[in-house]
Amino acid sequence: MQEMSTRQLADWLEDSDSPLREAVASRPKPLLLDVRETWEYELCHLAGSLSMPMGTVPARLNELDVSAAVVVICHHGVRSMQVAMFLAQNGFSSLYNLAGGINAWAHDVDLAMCKY
């Protein structure tokens, strides 16, 4: 599991969505796994992310593709780190924790995003 900065994730998502993607060797878009509570997700989230509150992850593990690149997101990066460690223990190998979480994203990448 690796830490990923908001800028690194923004670049990855931009690369994955690029119409020139076929012409360059880019990584496929990662699964954005948001482990915050539902009310937090409803306040703000990254487009295309999957809401799976931390407490539900063990019961919903079969919904996730063990071979996919997964970026785990929470508010500040603590819960997501715990979930990423759990996923690693369950066979996931391409794991990233978003350093600073959605809060850092709102301050560094999407300044219009709701902050709480």
Q: What is the pLDDT of residues 12-37, one digit of tens each?
A: 998 865 555 454 456 789 999 999 99
- Picking from 91, 99, 76, the residue whose alpha carbon sits closest to that of residue 2 is 99
Selecting among 74, 81, 83, 106, the annotated active-site residue is 74
Query: pLDDT tens-digit profile of 76-95?
Result: 999 999 999 999 999 999 99
Predicted local distance difference test score (pLDDT) of residue 23: 45
Is 44 one of the catalytic residues?
no
Query: pLDDT tens-digit profile of 52-64?
Result: 999 999 999 999 9
Contact 31, 50 (CB under 8 A): yes
Predicted local distance difference test score (pLDDT) of residue 25: 55
Q: What's the pTM?
A: 0.91
Q: Which residues of 14-49 are buried (b: 16+ CB within 10 A; e: fewer)?
A: ebeeeeeeeeeeeeebbbbbbbbbeebbeebbbeeb
Domains of the chain with CATH codes: 2-108 (3.40.250.10)
